Amino acid sequence: MLFDLHPKEHRKELFGRDSELEYLLEQLLAGNWVVVGGQREIGKTSLVKVAIRELKEKHGFKGAYVNLRGVRSLNALLTSLIPEMNSSRVKLDLSFSVNFIMGSAGIQVKRDAKAVSSLNELLNSVHEDLVIAFDEVQELSQASKQFLDILGNVFSSNSRVRFLFTGSYIGVTRILINPPSTSPLHGRPPVILNLRPFNDNTSRVFLRKGMREIGVDFNGEEEVVKRLDGVVGWLTLFGNFYAVRKIGLEEALNFAESEGKKIMIGEFEHFLENKNNKIVYTTLMDVIKVANKWRDIKRGMEIAIGQIDDKELSLALDSLVGNNFIEKVGRGEYRIIDPLLRKIDYSKILKPRL
């Protein structure tokens, strides 16, 4: 069902991404690794999950999906990966000699095993075609050097393992895409697949098809697309409120905007967690609602918070671009990508909540 709020896992549920899915499968079957990028709620996880299922059902691959949200260390990565490798969905035939034992529950890490050597052994012990999807890979940026060393080792040693990454274009993701000459992945960059919002016509067709699936007559596509744009996550959220929960058009739109804003505020707060100058980012988002050119943005920032160094401003803008909160649309021009991001009052984010 198109208006199901869970990530899609079957091709028939995936709307408007046929060409992207075929390209993704083609690249993985050719042995390439792939980074799937794009703004939040654009359908990255659904595309990845459908690709894994297609590879399993039609090409004999094993497949593992690991959500890295909150995973900041290699120990945490190992802890997240092992249950998926033990899953009945994967059923890998593995052989170990150093860091693991095979117990009744599957793979178990020995007590004093180190994360780096354990991950290297685990991934190089695979003797079947396996695709592993790491969702939100930028979360591992604090451990990027060791993580990239592991990936370089696997790339050189085990061609049966292919990786599929999603994430913002920062930290470890940026290095993956453009590895320096000192990186073990230098000269082996992954393919980049960037998902864009649906255009207006595709958005309207998505809404009509979703409504037909549930047997609902609907003619409010223009208003929905005007307010939610072509972001499939928000269109799906509206469709669920309107067609599944039987809420009126205006109320369903308001609910979709309200719930979507909560999601995006949570994403922005997560982004701010490791930032020392949080007020720069919250103020910058509010300023970009009304100013798009670099010089106007700087003027707005200095009116709001006082003098700001050119370098600090540029780094903050680059960080927001890399995290898919804003996009650079021309030389020195920026805009907020998501329609619901444009509706948030960022000045309230840093205030204590009662």
200-268 sits in which CATH class? Answer: mainly alpha
From the candidate CATH numbers 1.20.210.10, 3.40.50.1370, 1.10.10.10, 1.10.30.50, the one assigned to the domain spanning 275-348: 1.10.10.10
From the CB of residue 30, how many other CB atoms can be counted at a distance below 10 Å? 9
Residue appearing with tokens 């972001």: 231
Q: What's the confidence (pLDDT) of residue 11? A: 96
From the CB of residue 59, how many other CB atoms can be counted at a distance below 10 Å? 12
Low-confidence ranges of the chain (pLDDT < 50): 354
Contact 285, 341 (CB under 8 A): yes
Per domain, the residue ranges of the chain are: 11-194, 200-268, 275-348
11-194 sits in which CATH class? Answer: alpha beta
Per-residue pLDDT tens digits for 283-328: 999 999 999 999 999 999 999 999 999 999 999 999 999 999 999 9
Q: What's the confidence (pLDDT) of residue 353? A: 55
CA distance 248 to 238: 10
